[in-house]
Structure 1
Amino acid sequence: MPNPVPNTVVEGRELALTSLGKVLYPATGFTKGDVVEYYSSVAEAILPHLRDRPASFVRAPGGVESSPFMAKHVPPGTPDWVTVREVHRVDGSTDRQVLVQDLPTLLWAANLAALELHVPQWRLPAEGEADRLVFDLDPGAPATIVECCAVAVWLRDRLARDGLSAYAKTSGSKGLHVLVPLRPTDAGAVADHAERLAREASEELPELAVHQVPKSLRTGRVFVDHSQNAWTRTTAAPYTLRARPRPTVSTPVTWDEVVGCAEPDDLVFAAGDIAARLERHGDLLGPLLDPSRAGRLPDGD
Structure 2
Amino acid sequence: MTDTIPTGSHWLFEMKFDGYRAQIAISGPEVRVYTRNGHDWTEQFKVILEPLRTLTKGSVLLDGEIVAIDKAGRTNFSMLKTGIGAGIPLKFYAFDLLEKDGEDLTALPLIERKAILESLIGERDGGDSLQYSHHVVDNGQQVFDAMCAGGHEGVIAKAADGSYIGDRTKTWLKIKCTKRQEFVIGGWRPSDDGRGMASLILGTYEKGQFVYRGRVGTGFSDAMRAKILKQMEAMRIAKPAFAAVPNDIARKAMWVRPELVAEVAYAEITPDGSLRHASFQGMRADKKANQVVLEVPVEEAGSELDPVIGVEVAGALGIKLSHPEKVMHPGTGITKAHLVAYYAAVADRMLPHLKDRPLSLVRDTDNDLAKTFFQKHALPGMPKWIKSGQLTKVKGTESRILWIEDLAGLIGGVQMNTLEFHVWGSDRHQPDLPERMVFDIDPDEGLSFEDVKRAAVDIRDILGAIGLQSWPLLSGGKGIHVVVPLVPEADWTAVKSFCQNFAELLARTEPHRFVANMSKARRKGRMFLDYLRNGQGSTAVCPWSTRARAGRTVAAPVTWDELQTIDRANAFDVFSAAERAQEPDAWEGYFETEQTLTERIQDVVRNH
Q: Same fold (TM over 0.5)?
A: yes
The alpha-carbon distance between structure 1 residues 178 and 25, as it changes in their structure 2 partners (threshold 3 A), is same
What is the Cα deviation at residue 93 of structure 1? 4.2
Query: Per-residue displacement from partner, 1:153-172 (whole Å, max 9, x unpaired)?
Result: 11111111121101011111
Which AA in structure 2 matches 1:297?
Answer: L
Which AA in structure 1 matches 2:594?
Answer: A
Moved more, 196-205 or 243-252: 196-205
Which of 498, 504, 528 is matched with 1:193 structurally? 498
Corresponding position of 1:241? 546
Which of 469, 485, 495 is matched with 1:165 structurally? 469
Distance 1:8 1:143 in 2: 42
Asked whether the 8 Å contact 1:162–1:297 carries over to 2, the reply is: no
What is the Cα deviation at residue 149 of structure 1? 1.1
Q: More relative contact order in 1 or in 2 (CA 8 Å, sep 6+)?
A: 1
What is the Cα deviation at residue 81 of structure 1? 5.3
What is the Cα deviation at residue 96 of structure 1? 3.2
Corresponding position of 1:32? 336
SS at match of 2:460: helix
Asked whether the 8 Å contact 1:140–1:220 carries over to 2, the reply is: yes
Distance 1:139 1:61 in 2: 28
Which AA in structure 1 matches 2:311?
Answer: V
Query: Per-residue displacement from partner, 1:227-250 (whole Å, max 9, x unpaired)?
Result: 100112000000000001111000
What root-mean-square deviation, in Å, do the aligned CA atoms of Structure 1 and Structure 2 show?
2.2
Which of 178, 185, 188 is matched with 2:482 structurally? 178
Corresponding position of 1:5? 311
Corresponding position of 2:435? 131
Corresponding position of 2:594? 294
Asked whether the 8 Å contact 2:342–2:578 carries over to 1, the reply is: no
Corresponding position of 1:147? 451
Distance 1:116 1:81 in 2: 16
Q: How does 1:12-51 map to 2 (within 5 A)?
A: 13-51=317-355
Corresponding position of 2:515? 210
The alpha-carbon distance between structure 1 residues 285 and 7, as it changes in their structure 2 partners (threshold 3 A), is closer
The alpha-carbon distance between structure 1 residues 79 and 250, as it changes in their structure 2 partners (threshold 3 A), is closer
Asked whether the 8 Å contact 1:24–1:61 carries over to 2, the reply is: no
2:558 paired with 1:258: no
Distance 2:479 2:324 in 1: 30
Which AA in structure 1 matches 2:574?
Answer: A
Q: Provide the identity percentage.
A: 32
Higher radius of gyration, 1 or 2: 2
Corresponding position of 2:576? 273
Which AA in structure 2 matches 1:269?
Answer: F
Asked whether the 8 Å contact 2:314–2:340 carries over to 1, the reply is: no
Asked whether the 8 Å contact 1:191–1:226 carries over to 2, the reply is: yes
Corresponding position of 1:229? 534
Which AA in structure 2 matches 1:296?
Answer: T
SS at match of 2:528: strand
SS at match of 2:311: coil
Asked whether the 8 Å contact 2:345–2:581 carries over to 1, the reply is: no
Distance 2:389 2:448 in 1: 38
Distance 1:135 1:68 in 2: 24
Query: Per-residue displacement from partner, 1:61-88 (whole Å, max 9, x unpaired)?
Result: 4324340111111132234454322134
How many residue pairs were aligned? Answer: 294
Query: What's the TM-score, normalizing by structure 1?
Result: 0.90
- Structure 1 residues not aligned, in runs of 5+: none
Which AA in structure 2 matches 1:105?
Answer: G
Which of 371, 376, 387 is matched with 1:67 structurally? 371
> By percentage of residues, which structure has more helix?
1
Distance 2:392 2:588 in 1: 28
Asked whether the 8 Å contact 1:61–1:112 carries over to 2, the reply is: no
Distance 2:379 2:555 in 1: 25
The alpha-carbon distance between structure 1 residues 96 and 171, as it changes in their structure 2 partners (threshold 3 A), is same
SS at match of 1:129: coil
